[in-house]
Chains A and B, each alone.
Chain A
Amino acid sequence: MPDFIAQWLNQNDIFTAMTLMEYWDGLVTTVHLVFLSLVIGLLVAVPLAILRTVRNPFVSGPVWLYTYLFRGTPLLIQLYIIYYGVAQIPGIQDTFWWDIFKEPLYPALLAFTLNTAAYTTEIIRGAIAATPYGEIEAAKAYGMNWFLRLRRIVLPSAARRAVQAYSNEVIFMLHASAIASVVTIVDLTGAARNIYSRFYAPFDAFIFVALCYMALTFMLVFAFRKLENHLLRHQKPVSS
């Protein structure tokens, strides 16, 4: 460790190795929670988005209702309903589900996953609906069936159109995950709240954690810009 950092660490009472470890553990929890909910949410959202574009209202209707409800209500309420609600399901405390859901991490994971899946479904649906019809006609002319068309033409081209909006959703999820601290999970915000109440130092505790979130956000923005450049390579002007 460079000398000046060691010196700085020795001079202040708040950012000792111990509190920094607390922040680190919080960071790990936040990343863990956000990453898992985004991955599962995306896996759920792709089939739902495809169902949502089906013409039959009995298929697309329920998916629409799901996305409408989860996008129209605050994530905090969804979290409360799942966190407090699961324990009230009759008989759950006798099954193995209780061992999973009595940890606050899993209700939070479920709430975040359902929420992000709803937003992602709509993002992907929009991208699928915007597929140029000529591409589909061309695929039909080649004799591709529905599934092959979806796999080779519609989804890859929708993915390119969806990536920009999806990057916003990822950042939104990272920021929304701060409310996990409300249900006693010690994520980054939870660590900051603990440290605030121990030292009564709001500026140190919360500005430091804000900087952590900012660093995570800008890393994500950078990564998504790289990904976008990669996916949209074929649209770049030839000269550059």
Chain B
Amino acid sequence: MIDLKGYGPALAEGAVVTVELAFLSLALSITLGLLGASAKLSGNRFAHGVAATYTTLIRGVPDLVMMLLFYYGGQVMVNTLSDYLWYNHEIEFFFQFDPFISGVVTIGLIFGAYMTETFRGAFLAVESGQIEAARAYGFSRWHTFRRIMVPQMLRHALPGVGNNWQVLLKTTALVSIIGLTDMVRVAEEAAKAERMPFHFFIPVAAVYLALTAVTELFIKWLDKRANVGVVQGG
């Protein structure tokens, strides 16, 4: 084993933070993606407009800029709100806008936009005959969505969701810039203190590689399960 100069436990804790951050952001982004895709396909002009603006705005701005905006801006907003509540209503309300929350919110919002596109494509890939059949059986809108659309759309969405996940995982490294002690941050501090950059960054890079490799296998397995009963061409 490589000697981590006593930074081993801190690095391991950092790795746990990275994984937590990634999974929470994934959950938020999938929720936003489903909402966004439903809005885009709803036929409601207002909902479509909101979703389209959201995806366009997100795709035009770098993730780091967005993160800085949410982190620094979020704190200013909390401060303003707290002042307002105190002076006008004498309510004490304050919380520190920490890097973890801003990381989850930013990454969730960014990948929510990508997920919206993925899910939109997947929903469109479900045959319209299936929906008509569900209506003919008297399924309600929610029932059609839950029982017919989602199970069939997952098969088309999985490859896209898998790709987004891989990119999302690597994006979590950025949260170290706004001060979250994830494994990148720990490695950076250790590398500076010990003057051994390769020694600390290469293991961290290896953890990222391992995480992507393991989740890739899991996605392949899910993909196989989702495609049960589908006859592959060729």
Contacts and interface: CB of A to CB of B under 8 A. Distances in A.
Interface of A: 69, 72-78, 80-81, 84-85, 88, 171, 174-179, 181-182, 189, 192-193, 196, 200, 202-203, 206-207, 209-210, 213-214, 217-218
B204 interface: yes
B50 interface: no
Nearest to B72: A202
Given A72-B209, A189-B65, A85 B198 contact: yes
A88 B173 contact: no
A179 B197 contact: no
Interface string B198-220: 10011011001100110000000
20 contacts: A72-B212, A74-B170, A74-B205, A74-B208, A77-B184, A77-B201, A80-B191, A81-B198, A84-B192, A88-B198, A175-B61, A189-B62, A189-B68, A193-B68, A202-B72, A206-B65, A206-B72, A210-B69, A214-B60, A214-B61
B209 A196 contact: no
B73 A206 contact: yes
B173 to A, nearest CB: 4
A177 B65 CA distance: 11
Contacts of B202: 81
Given A69-B209, A72-B208, A84-B192, A178 B62 contact: yes
Given A203-B76, A206-B68, A213-B65, A77 B60 contact: no
A194 B167 CA distance: 28
Interface residues of B, number: 39
B64 A189 contact: yes
B177 interface: yes
Contacts of A200: 76
Given A69-B209, A202-B73, A192 B188 contact: no
Given A76-B177, A84-B197, A213-B65, 15 more contacts: A72-B208, A73-B170, A73-B209, A75-B173, A77-B187, A88-B196, A175-B63, A176-B62, A178-B62, A179-B174, A181-B64, A189-B68, A210-B61, A213-B60, A214-B61
B147 interface: no
Given A74-B173, A202-B76, A206-B73, A217 B65 contact: no
Contact of B69 (A78, A177, A207): A207
A182 B184 CA distance: 13
